[in-house]
Amino acid sequence: MQSRRQSASIYQRLKQRRMRRWRWLLVLIIVGLVGGASYGVFHWWQLRHQTMMAKYPVTGAAIDQDAGFLDFQALSKTGVKFVYLKTTVGNRYTDDDFAGNYSRSGGSGNTLKVGVYMVYSPNSPVLSQTTYFEKQVGSDTGTLPIMISVPDTGSSFGSAKAIERTVARLTAMIATLRTDYQQPVLLWTSTDGYQALKGKLSHTMFSLDDSKLTKRSPQDVQFISYDDNGSLIVAGERQSMSLMVYNGSKQSFDALSNE
């Protein structure tokens, strides 16, 4: 006959076993929930990307050094039709991966349409910015319009005087690049920047940051970046890039290229 101490010991062991089972079950449930949530997010993202491709037949991406080494042939298999490669910022910084990205993208000879963009600085002289861009990029400007990204800062759009100064500086930069490269030039801005500039820079094309993909006339807005912190699965690896669409038909996109 078992003593009370023996009975208590057996009971304690059984209790511990049940606790371990419950802990393992809880762990499995949590892992399942996390895995399911991750799959759900990934599935949602895939559906969203497919929706974008159905609504906008020409999708693309803006790429900088944060993407890491990129296989552009594999990228083209994701459905992306164009890429914009980051070049320079102001008059003293060049994206570390620009030269390699441009070379691997095939320039104008790849199935992907290639364009380049520079980042405008309100604090650097205009001439030094265009001179620096031309020195670093040379003739490697692709076949799409050259893009000037204009950060949404108080120095650019914070007041009527700032806007007036920005308009004058961008007008000079656009004229220089158009003359030197014989390519169209467009401005990449926020929606606020677009509102500030569109009436003052006539005959200028725009690219907008707009996560809502607000419907706009293709004559006013040519490209839309709808996910600045986006990513794509390229050759089995997730790589960060800004996801974009061309705001028009495939035919007008083909005509936009200067090939």
Binning pLDDT at 50, 70 and 90, where does residue 171 land? very high
HSE at residue 49, side-chain half, CA atoms within 13 A, is: 17
Please name the residues in contact with 245: beta carbons below 8 A apart, sequence gap of 6 or more.
52, 55, 56, 58, 59, 60, 213, 223, 224, 226
57-256 homologous superfamily = Glycosidases (3.20.20.80)
What is the pLDDT, as a whole number, of residue 202? 79
Structural element, H or E, at residue 43: helix 4-55
Pairing of strands 237-240, 231-234: antiparallel
**Average pLDDT over all residues of the chain:** 86
Centre a 10 Å sphere on the Cβ of residue 56 and count the other Cβ atoms it contains.
21
Percentage of the chain modeled with pLDDT above 70: 80
Asked whether the predicted pLDDT for residue 43 surpasses 70, the reply is no
Q: Where is average pLDDT lowest: 19-28, 193-202, 245-254?
A: 19-28
- Region 143-158 average pLDDT: 94
Asked whether the predicted pLDDT for residue 131 surpasses 70, the reply is yes
- Region 32-36 average pLDDT: 57
Q: Where is average pLDDT lowest: 30-39, 182-191, 224-233?
A: 30-39
Residue 117 forms beta bridges with which residues?
A: 86, 147
pLDDT tens-digit profile of 231-256? 999 999 999 999 999 999 999 998 88
Q: Where are the domains of the chain?
A: 1-55, 57-256
Top pLDDT among 252 and 37 is at 252
What is the pLDDT, as a whole number, of residue 215? 87
